[in-house]
Structure 1
């Protein structure tokens, strides 16, 4: 197995402005020993791990039944249409994750020797906090490795990835076998346990000694010292709540059908209880954030963020970006100054229920195929631009028909939609991309949302205890879905939910559909379909569209076909690694 060795003299180039990369000045070549007296240099190894966290909006939706892209050479498009191999894997996180863990392991092996501050109390707190961050981040990277590369090996066993918890030197043994899936899950939990011990649940300032968490009182009885290290200045660093959330993510993955195996003891009840820990911290069912549906475009909420604070919906996010219109430039329709990359499918559009909560194919839906966008779930208009939408700072009517006479029409130009739809979610429609007066707005990219945890609980609780069972918790899958649909549909009664609540299979379908809608375009669908191990025909469902001209709706039944094979429920180990190390086995089917 290949690990990218970190040579200290080169790593320091991340933190200096040296221009002589091939012949650096001697003073820029630092050794491990210099970590002990240079706290900024030492912290740099931890910072590097933050820089390569997998992006939340990775656009893997292009490779699902939810969307296609007009970028015809896009790696996700080519993957979905037959070019996914162990040598060409757009969803690989192998190298980046192991490189990050190299930094983290080096940090963990040396942080106790670093002089973090002249104040001994602060120094101990800094070391504790940063060790907690490092353990948590190592668990994070192991989760992504397990999700993207875990699977059934060539020997028929359920395998994870190699577990590396020590810094690898040039003399280390690299020919390391994959650990079992269960061992990887346990390693993630172990690292997250350490993170929770070393970190506050959230980074907030305090004013009295009594507010210092008990486990930190051994280090200081001074609120100012605590705030210096564990206060609001640490916001958006890894914290205890993030550890709880990644524990729930890991448990949900491990309990899912694709990984159910006699060697994997994970249970749905575990997944439900871990998700409930996050929900209970938030305040239970009633605390589901009311603004969560449109977290990306809540103007006053975003404008009011300060001192690293989060909106109510957000557990963890990237830093704010001001006066920005990058996402809009990529995804607005052409007439609004965009390049229309993300094209939602008719498949996804059909998944949105009517405003009365019934699926469009239900006898009580009152769906009208001649006016298909009327009386639909409000999330549809919030997440998707469709023919007749009034959008942008100019309140322009978007016409997506192939005969519309505008550049927004289907396949009119390379930046036009291929399906008859454009993505609206993730975007702020008050951004102006008009070339004569371009202006941006403040944005943030999430890393973790509370709604994801509510949906995780609903899925796991339904599987563990049925639609209305509660296990050891105070609420059921039914209760959670009722709250989510109430927020979205604003119904006094939800007759369709009442209809399915006595049937676990029907509730499963509803929960999965709610997850599809609530998390669309957020890079979940690709992995959800695989961990659910849906029928291969579903994995290969042809992407469809809708052409609207002069009030006539013409279905486009084959916008883009999918070409996944049965072994593609699991991602591959990079072929380059398999060729080098004979103890590293490949997942079944991959070449």
Structure 2
């Protein structure tokens, strides 16, 4: 279940936060007794670092290539194999069992040992450090449990099960053959950990200027601003905070209320709406939603915002993020061949068709004035922002991309022209910085960052939950905003329209609003790892889950392109039990109390 059963011993043997002196002092590399670690604050911090390193959203998964949103041109891609009939309990690219349970083990060690450690000579500061570190550990443990439920919760003989719950440090003598707890027991544990984190942590890490600004629970006799800032100040921005813990609770409550889990869960849409509303209130209510296209939609290439990020600070759109990186990995992987990229993720026609017209109407509605012969004209600006299509512009030269086949020389950007070409007639544009030049003769780098949680996600969580709980235009809890208000603001930001006739026409229709909210979530959070899980928690129909990935080809001339009828690029092969991911087959072989989810064998 957890490969390294005695992680504590392994950590003692590790060199954590090594300084230059450590590198030349062999005494630092000697095996150390547990008791000798308690005076070394780097040891406790190193335990936490092991947790942060295991956060599932530290990188981009691009699980969308296993959905109706995208395919990949890499035939060995795990998600491609998953989507086309090779998903099994022993071949599971969505597996989070090993890493997240390992992360929980590290957090259990922190919680078991931190009070024995010493972080500062001043006892007031020492207690603050311990409070913060315990709060982080509770928050991270809750996060790992949430991701484990998302990936591995499922029905077993009529009961919705979660995961085994471990709250203490495991060693080689521990019993690992323990059963999975119910889904409700798991969510209750997550909420308990979140409550502990909120109690122990500041809402945000800021330096206080006066003792009156120190939160009352920390403002014990003798506490000074310098002491508080030393353990809870702005230099810890980027770590789990009270606000981050609240966001994890919002994610968990939305999962628990969703159709795939509601039948065996205590989760309610009212709870999910309330937990999201608390964060929205902290952000400033409806007005707190980043209102400009650059800050809220194209945040990943907002050069001025990204350049201003420092030491964990957030952009207006980012509630919690990983570090910045100065590399071209995304551009290398996803630029089209003409820009020296590998074109790995190819958006589908299915996704392109989900973008409305510029007036807000779905393109299936006659009022959209959609034209099959000019399909990208008068469309939602997010289409051009997220997806590269025929005639779209990309790269440092802002050159038009041509997908019309040619043989002399071969047009590598055309469909299936070479192994790095698109398979669908589209290339990914979202997440990429167009000011990157990947030409080998003049390459440059630009800063990127990966939000772990975006504010738009939380606002969409509220819109979905509130619409299900009491409809889109009601505000029975007096939050000051409705599901309708949020969707209107998100669409106004994207479309640039204050008058949204389609939204107005359906706002009283709960079912139509559900579809619109889900579609806005699909667009706003595209290629950020949501679609694969959203389709499952919504328990969409099996035909929808198996909707084939479609694409087009382009012919004619660049002046007068001709677009083919959409055709199947890749079939999806999912069975009815695949709304819930499996427990790793190897684990069920080792532990006879670990029951597999219904339908999965190996």
Does structure 1 residue 321 correspond to structure 2 residue 325? Answer: yes
* Structure 1 residues 27 and 545: CA distance shift in structure 2, 3 A: closer
What is the SS of the residue equivalent to 2:368? coil
Distance of 1:34 and 1:179 partners within structure 2: 37
C-alpha contact 2:437 2:443 (8 A) present in aligned 1: yes
Matches within 5 A, 1:189-588: 189-218=191-220, 221-261=223-263, 263-290=264-291, 291-322=295-326, 324-403=327-406, 405-472=410-477, 473-550=479-556, 551-588=561-598
Name stretches of at least 5 consecutive residues in structure 2 with no aligned partner: 20-25
Moved more, 117-126 or 339-348: 117-126
Q: Deviations over 1:161-210 (max 9, x none)?
A: 11110111111111110000000000000001011011111111111111
Aligned length: 583
Q: Alpha-carbon deviations, 1:10-36, whole Å to 9, x = none?
A: 224543579xxxxx9895322322231
Where does residue 21 of structure 1 map in the other structure? Answer: none
Deviations 1:79-136, CA, capped at 9 Å, x for gaps = 1000000001100000101111111101110100101111222111111000000000
1:8·1:29 contact (CA, 8 Å) conserved in 2? no
Take 1:476 and 1:26, find their aligned partners in 2: how far apart are those partners? 58
Matching residue of 1:8: 8
- Is the contact between residue 288 and residue 451 of structure 1 (CA under 8 Å) also seen in structure 2? yes
Contact 1:285–1:475 (CA under 8 A) maintained in structure 2: yes
Asked if 1:74 is matched to 2:84, the reply is: no
Question: What is the CA–CA distance in structure 1 between the aligned matches of 2:379 and 2:371, rounded to whole Å?
Answer: 10
Q: How big is the shift at 1:6?
A: 2.6
1:60 aligned to 53, 63, 69, which one?
63
Looking at structure 2, the residues matched to 419 and 338 of structure 1 have their Cα atoms a distance apart, in angstroms, of 16
| Between 211-220 and 529-538, the greater mean CA deviation after superposition | 211-220
CA distance in 2, matches of 1:168, 1:139: 18
Distance of 1:51 and 1:492 partners within structure 2: 43
Q: Which runs of 4+ in 1 moved over 4 A?
A: 24-27
Question: Secondary structure of 1:573's partner?
Answer: coil
Which stretch of structure 1 is more off in the superposition, 142-151 or 56-65? 56-65
Task: Provide the secondary structure at the position in 1 that maps to 2:148.
Answer: helix
Asked whether the 8 Å contact 2:8–2:109 carries over to 1, the reply is no
Q: CA deviation at 1:226?
A: 1.1
Aligned to 2:45: 43
| Cα distance in 2 for residues equivalent to 1:76 and 1:12 | 37
* Contact in 2 for aligned 1:335/1:408 (Cα 8 Å): yes
Of the structure 1 ranges 399-408 and 466-475, higher mean CA displacement relative to structure 2 is found in 399-408
Q: CA deviation at 1:471?
A: 2.5
Cα deviation per residue 1:217-273 (whole Å; 9 max; x = unaligned)? Answer: 127521111111111110110100000000000000000000012x42210000000
Question: TM-score under structure 1 normalisation?
Answer: 0.96
Mapped contact 2:347–2:424 kept (Cα < 8 A): yes
Whether the 8 Å contact between 1:124 and 1:219 is mirrored in structure 2 is no
Q: Contact 2:462–2:483 (CA<8 Å) still a contact in 1?
A: yes
Structure 1 Cα separation of the partners of residues 120 and 525 of structure 2:
43
Q: In the superposition, relative to structure 1, how do residues 327 and 219 fare at CA in structure 2: closer, same or farther (>3 Å)?
A: farther
Native 8 Å contact 1:64 1:525 kept in 2: yes
SS at match of 1:555: coil
CA 25–175 in structure 1, closer or farther in 2 if over 3 Å, else same: farther
Q: Within 2, Cα distance between the matches of 1:3 and 1:9?
A: 13
- Are 2:7 and 2:106, in contact at CA under 8 Å, matched by a contact in 1? no
SS class of match (2:319) = strand
451-460 vs 120-129, greater mean Cα deviation: 120-129
* Aligned partner of 2:174 among 145, 148, 172: 172
Q: Which runs of 5+ in 1 are unaligned?
A: 19-23
Q: 2:158 aligns with which of 156, 159, 166?
A: 156
Partner SS, residue 300 of structure 1:
helix
Asked if structure 1 preserves the Cα contact closer than 8 Å seen for 2:405 and 2:555, the reply is: yes
- Note the aligned Cα RMSD (angstroms): 1.5
Matches of 1:176 and 1:423 in 2, distance apart?
Answer: 44
SS at match of 2:56: coil
Contact 1:129 1:199 in 2 (8 A): yes
Secondary structure of the residue aligned to 1:440 is coil
Distance 1:208 1:174 in 2: 50
Q: Deviations over 1:315-345 (max 9, x none)?
A: 11111113x2111111111111111111000
State whether residues 68 and 342 of structure 1, in contact with CA within 8 Å, keep that contact through their aligned partners in structure 2. yes
Distance 1:341 1:177 in 2: 40
Deviations along 1:130-152, whole A, 9 cap, x unmatched?
A: 00000000000000001100010
Cα distance in 2, alignment partners of residues 220 and 420 from structure 1: 66
Secondary structure (helix, strand or coil) at the match of 2:298 reads helix
TM-score after normalising by structure 2: 0.95
Aligned-pair CA distance for 1:215: 1.1
Query: Partners of 2:137 and 2:516 in 1: how far apart?
Result: 38
Give the deviation of 1:2 after TM superposition.
Answer: 4.8
Aligned partners of 2:238 and 2:321 also within 8 Å: yes
Please say if residues 124 and 223 of structure 2, whose CA atoms lie closer than 8 Å, have aligned partners that are also in contact: no
